[in-house]
Amino acid sequence: MALARAIVRNSGEHEVWIVLNDLFPETVEVIRHAFVDLLPAERIAVFSLPPLTLYRGVDDWRTSAAEMIREHAIAELEPDVVHISSLFEGYVDNSVTSIKRLYPEMLTAVTLYDLIPYLNPDKYLVDAGFKQHYMGKIEALKRADILLGISAYCGEEAATELGIPRQRITNISTAVSDAFKPIDLSASQRDALFGKFGITRPFVMTTGIVEPRKNLEGLIVAYSKLPAELRKQYQLFMVCQATESNSAKLYQLAKSNGLLENELVLAAYVSDKDLVALYNLCHLFVFPSLHEGFGLPALEAMACGSAVIGSCTTSIPEVICRDDALFDPLDLNQMAAMMERALGDHTYWQSLRENAIERAGKFSWDATGQRALKAFEEAHALRRAEVAARHETEPGSSSESQALASQRYRRLVDALSKIDLPTTDGDFLSSADSIAANQRVGRARQLFVDVSVLCHVDAKSGIQRVTRSILLQLLKSPPPGLQVRPVRLDRSVMAYRYANEFWRTIGVGEKPVDDADEWLDTQQGDIYLGLDLVADCVPPAEQWFVRQRRRGVKIYFVVYDLLPVMHPDWFPEVIALCFPPWLKTISHVSDGLIGISRAVADDLRVWLDTGPVDRLHDLKLGYFHLGADIESSQPSKGLPPDATGTLHALRSRPTVLMVGTVEPRKGHIQVVAAFEKLWAENVDVNLAIVGKAGWGLAEFAQKLEQHPERNRRLFWLQGASDEFLEQVYEASAVLLTASNGEGFGLPLIEAAQKGLPIITRDLPVFREVAGEHAFYFNGDSSGALADAVNAWLLANHEGNAPVSTGMPWLTWAQSADQIKNVLLREEWYGTWLPVEAHH
């Protein structure tokens, strides 16, 4: 991780990509988050591989196929250099690495840490399966164009033991985390740490797992040779993660060499934070290892200001770089003598501490990253010179790139067909699936627009009207470089299909290629827009969204309002119950949420601050405004038989119009009570309600049906078409919106388009939409509203009522453009950070 960050940080004009294996799904978001300050998200690519079994050995068809599929996936990015950060994994995990299995021309670099198992096979390669795996990786290592050794010794070992040409080897060295540094610890912090690990006095420290090359036994015997008076002043403290049996052996060794019970202290797991503190507190750090690729513990201790002595073998002298601080790790008397000097000679000890800080300062990740980049540049320049000498040209046009991609694909398929190992249909299916997922060249990016509800039932109003209108505009005017595709959730498996059959019924945009509703074919850079509200099914489909986001598909959801979580009593139980899990899921899986007003985006931020949202990354918050040109949303036609009489009655006196479903939050009960009060006071005014009966107001609906003023001064028009509603608007004097909560407030704009004045409840969203173009009221009582209507009637009579005609509004084309600007031009309203991100 540190090397990758250093390479990216120092890359200059070079384009760096991070390539991840999707068989480690839990790491993808963590790694993306680790590079959020350095690399655009689209430069982190995830390749797909067929699932593997552990301990599979090399005689496994799927393992061989996976190596080739990985090389093909990386080749699709058309890289100049590929760097493999760790080659030898993959026997007990899902790592897949290979060098030139499929593409010998792919310039490949590898970091080499050490050859310890190769040089000590009797100890490290006793398992036949692992030996076969390891030796296969050694052969792959020999094919690398660039070998990045973590020490000069490590590179020299590769040259002498493996015969790798020295011109291919670069010593990039290594470094330690910035966390390893001198720190001040209070007496109470020191005491707490001593108590935690059983330390009772100043201590000599080492770190290393319990295995022969770490030479912990040698250190215990050497320590036992110190004068007893010196040992009374100090303890030997080993951070070694010893098992119970290993601890028993080490304690027995100490006892048999005359060490008292509290002279040796063993620590199991130690956190990084505690390790830094222990390095700072130790009087002397001893590193007695017999063989190291670099010797990181010695450098960690030096970076913390510890006095450090260590072995004169392998790479360790490169780290300590001081002859009088190095001992022969097999000469236990010499090791003991150097410890005695460091513990008894204050001047020598002080010089070791000063040397530590100065020497550690010469190692940095930036320097390591720069050396790696220089090696890449030199190898690439050499390769270009070879290509030029052969009079070959690099692909220039996209058609040449496409032709090369086709050749690569054929080469992969041919190579897979030649693997002579037993296979199953499952091997072929999972491999084909991965190959398809990894193909990049020649594929257009896609914008998936969710129409899961609309394609089954078009309510012609509310969310379905928005979904249809925005979809039509996106199909008519797709964003540059993106194919707009309607998609639907297949509820039987909770995964998405193309909504091709529905698309054909719209008759807008290109015709779908496939007849059937095929499964989505996604790739990095695609965008999913959750335009339709599928609240009940998004939580069960969460894993689909998580997988797509891992692949690099951007996930965005439109949020129409948060009312079901803010006021569950306003909604049917089924909505009130399914809405909170939906909101929690979309907050977890999305890159951004887009409200249909600024007020909704503000409500979202408040909810996120209090809601239990599980995410690493920040969450973008945006909003757009709905369109209001009814012709663009395929308006419904038709007039009722008594249309003429109704319109005449509405014109006969001032008519106050309400538009919207009759349900608890819309305020109809307060409105009717207010008008009953007005009529009792002989105010000559009509109330017209346009909207079907919703849920939860059965008694009230019956009251409306049987009201004594029904069809005299009270008109309830259910199932009105857009055509009839248009005429009702024209016959009315003012629009009244008494709703207690809305995501947007389209009736205000529809009224303004017709020049109809507006009386509205004073809500933030209505202020956002109507501004100074409406007459606002407050209060929930019938009297408060009756007074407001009277006040408006008076103001209107005197010519002082606010006029709506100047209210700004959007067409659906402009509304769709606002969404495009948020999605593609990053015109976000704000960002919400998870609590962890604040720390």
3-state secondary structure 63-129: HHHHHHHHHHHHHCCCCCCEEECCCCCCCCCCCCCCCCCCCCCCCEEEEECCCHHHHCHHHHCCCHH
- What pLDDT, in 10s, does the model give residues 541-551? 999 999 999 99
Q: Which helix (H) or strand (E) holds 507?
A: none
At residue 513, φ and ψ (nearest 5 deg) are -70, -45
Sign of the alpha-carbon torsion through 816, 821, 827, 832: positive
Query: Tell me, what's the pLDDT at 838?
Result: 43
According to DSSP, the β-strands at 495-498 and 482-490 are: antiparallel
pLDDT at position 839 over 50? no
Beta bridge partners of 760: 737, 776
At residue 721, φ and ψ (nearest 5 deg) are -75, 165
Listed range (376-385, 438-447, 582-591, 791-800) with the worst mean pLDDT: 438-447
Single-letter residue type at 660:
G
Query: Tell me, what's the pLDDT at 391?
Result: 74
pLDDT band at residue 746, thresholds of 50, 70 and 90?
Answer: confident
Neighbours of 221 (CB within 10 A): 18
Query: Tell me, what's the pLDDT at 399?
Result: 76
Nearest to 580 by CA among 617, 610, 553: 610
Query: Tell me, what's the pLDDT at 57?
Result: 67
Beta bridge partners of 19: 45
Residues 402-420 have a mean pLDDT of: 93
pLDDT band at residue 390, thresholds of 50, 70 and 90?
Answer: confident
Query: Tell me, what's the pLDDT at 396?
Result: 65
The CA distances from residue 831 to 553, 608, 617, 700, 745, in Å, are 19, 11, 10, 43, 25
pLDDT band at residue 389, thresholds of 50, 70 and 90?
Answer: confident
Give exposure, 786-811, as e/b (b: 16+ Cβ within 10 Å). Answer: bbbbbebbeebeeeebbbbeebebbe
According to DSSP, the β-strands at 264-267 and 619-623 are: unpaired
**Both structure tokens of 718:** 């259910």
- pTM, to two decimals: 0.83
Query: Tell me, what's the pLDDT at 459?
Result: 64
Helices (H) and strands (E) in the chain, counts: 34, 26
What is the C-alpha to C-alpha distance for residues 516 and 381, in angstroms, rounded to an integer?
A: 50
- What pLDDT, in 10s, does the model give residues 267-322? 988 999 999 999 999 999 999 999 999 999 999 999 999 999 999 999 999 999 99
- What pLDDT, in 10s, does the model give residues 433-490? 999 989 887 788 999 999 999 988 776 667 888 899 999 999 999 999 999 999 999 9
Mean pLDDT of the chain: 92
Give the chain's domains with CATH numbers.
1-174+364-440 (3.40.50), 187-362 (3.40.50.2000), 445-627 (3.40.50), 641-809 (3.40.50.2000)
Query: Tell me, what's the pLDDT at 631?
Result: 61
Q: Count Cα atoms within 13 angstroms, Cβ side, for 36.
A: 12
According to DSSP, the β-strands at 527-530 and 554-559 are: parallel
According to DSSP, the β-strands at 592-595 and 619-623 are: parallel
Single-letter residue type at 45:
A
Give exposure, 467-479, as e/b (b: 16+ Cβ within 10 Å). Answer: bbbbbbbbbeebb
pLDDT at position 703 over 70? yes
Percent of the chain with pLDDT over 70: 97
Which segment, 311-325, 424-438, 733-747, is predicted with the most confidence on average? 311-325
Q: Determine the angle formed by the axes of helices 332-344 and 216-224, rounding to 10 degrees.
A: 60
What is the C-alpha to C-alpha distance for residues 585 and 549, in angstroms, rounded to an integer?
A: 13
What is the C-alpha to C-alpha distance for residues 215 and 236, in angstroms, rounded to an integer?
A: 14
Q: Residues 477, 527, 398, CA angle at the centre, nearest 5°?
A: 75
Which three-class secondary structure state does DSSP give residue 834? Answer: coil
Residues 49-63 have a mean pLDDT of: 83
Nearest to 450 by CA among 468, 434, 431, 423: 468
